[in-house]
Structure formats: structure tokens, C-alpha cells
Structure 1
């Protein structure tokens, strides 16, 4: 992602939109690479937003936004971002909403601006191999969890919920997502490329692939 930003932006202060940015991991990596970057992070989850604000301090603008609503971008401070970056987040949106969402960030980009979405995107040209790579990746994750080398998602949320400061925010999160917020809808990379093309981007392609995961990129 950041290599693509570096290739397209002159200077060391790109204007970036971290879409569904969660705890701010993309923003923090962007600031490590571009210390003068001007970053806006948007998310809906109150617990994740609290963590993002605590880690980013005053180095980024952190806003609450509901990507399921077409007016989510009304409070953004800019309309000419150099890049919109997102990872493992928009897959919880239904197909028709994600199709629209690809078009909305396009209008927030400057001419020639970049959108990158990294997520679970099977390669429909290699279904058997992609499935097997996904199985092996899951086995490696399970081994790390069992060995205590990393927290599973559920264990991580359990610890966050037990925190005296974050716990009330996790309860608010459950009110927002009473049944969980991810339908685990992971269409193949060809679907994403078609949706980006339909949204009007001039260049669309696969920027990176690792097993069953990929990052698609598009230029306005």
C-alpha cells in the first residue's frame, strides 16, 4: 500500500484517508513512512476509535462514520485525498453497499488519486490452490493461538471488554452490532476489480497477493 502511495505522490506529506481504520494500524505505519502525512481515519466502533485516538494522539483526524450510510463522508475535512486505504474491513458490507462504497471514495480522491483495499479475496482462477492455502494459513494461526504466541480475535475482544476504560465502549459496540457485524462475505478478486471498474476508476488491478488474500488498487 505505502509503496503505491510513495510512487504516486510527490513530496513527503500525502493526504490519506484510512477507511474503516479501526485501531489505526494503517495510519501508524503511514506516519512511520511519511511523518508529515495528513491523515483522516474513520470508523464506527467506539472501542477501536478510542484505541486509535490514544495511539495517534494529534497526528491524525479521527472521526466516527457509519459506512453503511451514504452520507458517511459529510464530516470529512478534505475532498482531494491522495489515497484512500483500507484493509480487512469492507467485507462485512453487503454486496450492493460495497459496490456503492467503491464509488463514494472515488469522489474524495484528487485526479490520479489511489484507492487500495486489502482483504480476503480468493483467486477465482486458482480455486483449489487458494482453498488449500487458506486452510494452511488457518492451521498456522490456530497453532500460534494454542502456543500463546498470539491472541485470537475472540480472546483479544475478551481482554478489551475486561478493561475498566474500554469495557463500557465494548458494551456500546455490542449495541451497535448486536449480532456481530461481519457476514464473512468474501467475493473473489475478480468481483472487486469489476466493481471498481464499474465505479469509474481509470486503472484497476491487483497490487499484491498472498495466499487467499489480496490487495486491489484503482486510480481515479
Structure 2
């Protein structure tokens, strides 16, 4: 029987970083659902799909071939035969993913793949609707959050460290707008599952958050 940890929360809360650490320490597989949605967004961008045309998005999404491979313990997201890990973290793809992920038919296709993975492997999965939709029976559900200001500061530091141009006020505005879209979308809006444990990371280090989640899992 496989075991599942679901981590949900808004953009910039540190879900991916924390999920990777927790998975590594427990020997679980980390499934970055956000990377799958970004990969779909990259595919749709290449197809010149109108991000406001919900019907076209849902239709085109059906022909996308998105798979996950593990190489030396690292998740590699494949679009067809192409490794797109290095192409799905730019602002344009992020914006496209935030819009297109609202389309129900697109979400259904990706959720099916995510659930198949979780049926056969011990997984830590993070996203926006893992505990509410993808893994409703997960062993442990975490809702990870932090203030908009803290999340923007983290994203700003990441971008500067990578040599990218960044304006803190613009990042704060973008995160606030994305929160609103994620929480008010029609398909699987971002919300805390009834049985999820709230973990606010605003005043915690990455290691403290990871250790807290592992402690919660072990007590389960």
C-alpha cells in the first residue's frame, strides 16, 4: 500500500522546496504538480493558444504528452521526448499556467496522471488542490502559507540570485493577483482541506518547516 503526503498552498509559500526535502528524508518520490501545469502551459504557448479561450485550451490540452521520469532521484518533466525542466520557470510560462490551469478539462487530464503515480509509489505531492481533489485520502495533508510580503521577498531574492531583473512591488502585486485567481477559479479553487494542518512559514526556516512536516507524518 502506498503512502501519500499532500502539500497545498499559495504561490511562493515554499511548497516545492519543502516537498523535495520531505520526500528525500522519507525516501518518497516528489511529484511537482506545478511543473506539470507549467509544462502544459509551455505546450499551449507553443501551439499559440489564446489564454482566454477556455474551450480551445481544453481541446488542445488533450493532445499534450506530459510524463515524469526520475533520473538519479531527480524529477524530470518531459513534454513528448523533450526534457523541459529548464524551460518552465520563466514569468511568461507562470502567467500562462495560472490562466490555463483554471480550465476543468485540462485539470482532469493532469489529475488522472497524478493519481496514477500516487497509486503505485510513496509520494509527496504539492500544488493547489492536492488535498481537496487529487489525493483526498492522503495520509497527511498540509496547507503551507506565508504572508504576501514574505513570499514576495523570497521570490525577489531568488530572481536577484539568478541574475534576473526584479522589482519587489511588482512581485507583491503579481502574487496577490495570483492568489485571487487561484482562490476564485471555477475549477478546483485553492483552499485548505478540512482535515489539513495549517503551517505558516513566515517565521520559519526551510529545515524547520520540513522537520515539522516529518514530525506530523510520523505521529500519524
Task: Tell me the TM-score normalised to structure 2 length.
Answer: 0.34
Task: Tell me the TM-score normalised to structure 1 length.
Answer: 0.34
Higher share of residues assigned strand: 1
Q: Which has the higher contact order (CA 8 A, sep 6+)?
A: 2
Larger radius of gyration: 1
